[in-house]
Amino acid sequence: MNTRRIALGGIALAGLVAFAASATLSGAAEYKVEDEAIKASLTGKAGDAGNGKKVFLNRKKGNCLACHVVASLKDQPFHGQVGPPLDGTASRWKEGELRLRIVNSKIVNKDTIMPAFHRAEGLHRVLKKFKGKTVLSAQEVEDVLAYVMTMKE
């Protein structure tokens, strides 16, 4: 009895370690790009627009207003002008196209200033604290996307 329990404990532990290792190695969820879009949810789940709005505004997370004007958010101070206004963007782009832009805009415009919000590799001199980590988690991307999808003309 005793030995069996120990053995099981060992397997569980090994499993956890392996999981942790793969999570730090890849950092970002896997996804498929087709027709300049990521058509499937990164998590298989739908996004929560309410939480998405919070992530969008949070200066340590999306901080999207640093570069974009959004007319419906005019109660928030300091909208930037580096990117285009996002009003009506969900009428211009399909959901999968917007997901791709949030995950990694460089796939469609390699010179863009817009950060890839869900990418952890191929980056130069990342501060230790952020190394191997994405700016937004896969679910946060889905949540922001759900919020951006409300920006219709």
Partner 1 sequence: MKRKALVLAGVGAAALAVPSVMTFAAEDFGKYQVGDTRSGYTFAKVETRAIQDDDFENPGMLWVEHGEEVWETVDGKAGKSCKSCHADASDTMKNVGSTYPVFAKDIGKLENVENRINRCRTDNMKAKPWKYDSRDMLGVVSYVKRQSFGQPMNVKIDGGAASWFKKGEEFYNQRRGQLDMACKHCHVDNAGNMIRANTLSQGQGNGFPTYRLKWQKPGSLHRRFRGCNKQVRAKPYKTGTDEYLALELYVMWRGQGLPVETPAVRN
Interface positions with ligand HEC (CB under 6 A): 56, 62-64, 66-68, 82-84, 86, 89, 92, 98, 101-102, 105, 109, 112-115, 117, 144, 148
Binding mask 2-41 for partner 1 (x = CB under 8 A): ----------------------------------------
Give me 75's structure tokens. Answer: 């109660």
Q: Out of ligand HEC, partner 1, none, which partner does residue 107 contact, by CB within 5 to 8 A per kind?
A: none
Binding mask 43-72 for partner 1 (x = CB under 8 A): ----------------------xxx-----
Three-state DSSP string of 38-103 = CCCCCCCCCCCHHHHHHHHHCCCCCCHHHCCCCHHHCCCCCCCCCCCCCCCHHHHCCHHHHHHHHH
Neighbour-count burial of 132, counting CB atoms closer than 10 A to its CB (0-12 exposed, 13-18 middle, 19+ buried) = middle
Query: Closer CB to partner 1, residue 34 or residue 130?
Result: 130
